[in-house]
Amino acid sequence: MCVLTNSGILMVDTPWDTTQLRPLFDSLQKFWQARPVQVISTHFHKDRTAGLDWLSAHGVKTISIEMTRQLCMENNEEIPQFVVEPGSYVLDNVSYTIVYPGPGHAPDNIVLYFPRWKLLYGGCFIKSFVSENLGNVGDADVRSWLKAAKHVRKQYGSAELVITGHQDWKGLESLNQTIHLLHQAKKSGQ
């Protein structure tokens, strides 16, 4: 996700690799006449961190929570330069909140909330409303994920846009589908 601010673009997560990142970077400069100034990785998996080294080399501030940074180091993934705590932040004219709801899709997954637009960015923590399963659960804690997803829904249930990490997205339908899938997984003993 890309958000245009007064000083440049705030990116949340990266594409899968630099072969996708470079065209995105160039397109943003061409169409928005702006370049990324910050990128926040929502967890340590490659589909959220690929290209961090390239971005850093091009002057982009790469950011995550401490747990993500540690997991990137342990798993030989590209490492964010800067660590932030969950909380409220402002980049120029854009305010947002970084929330660590607890383990879910990954032990370190975070979500971001942008109050101006009532927008919840869930990344891989929130499945698409069209998802039929939880997808990659190799690093998931399904029981904790259910509790965390319910907490996010309670806290940000007024969100009008809920952006997922993969597939189509809408409003709360995606978060509700995630909770439904987690209930199914719990019943099946996952």
Q: What is the pLDDT of residues 42-74, one digit of tens each?
A: 999 888 888 999 999 999 999 999 999 999 999
pLDDT at 20: 84
Scan for tokens 């958000």, then name that residue: 3
Percent of the chain, pLDDT > 90? 66
- Across the chain, where does the E strand assignment appear? 2-5, 8-12, 36-40, 61-64, 82-83, 87-91, 94-99, 111-114, 119-123, 161-164
Q: pTM score, two decimals?
A: 0.92
CATH code, residues 100-190: 3.60.15.10
Outline which parts of the chain fall under CATH 3.60.15.10. 1-89, 100-190
pLDDT at 151: 95
CATH code, residues 1-89: 3.60.15.10
Among candidates 53, 33, 40, which has minimal Cα distance to 13? 40
User: Would you place residue 161 in the very low, low, confident or very high pLDDT band (cuts 50, 70, 90)?
Assistant: very high
Q: What is the pLDDT of residues 92-108, one digit of tens each?
A: 999 999 999 999 989 99
Above 70 in pLDDT, residue 169? no
Query: Six-digit token pair at 188?
Result: 């099946």
Scan for tokens 């932040």, then name that residue: 89
Distance CA 13, CA 55 (A): 12
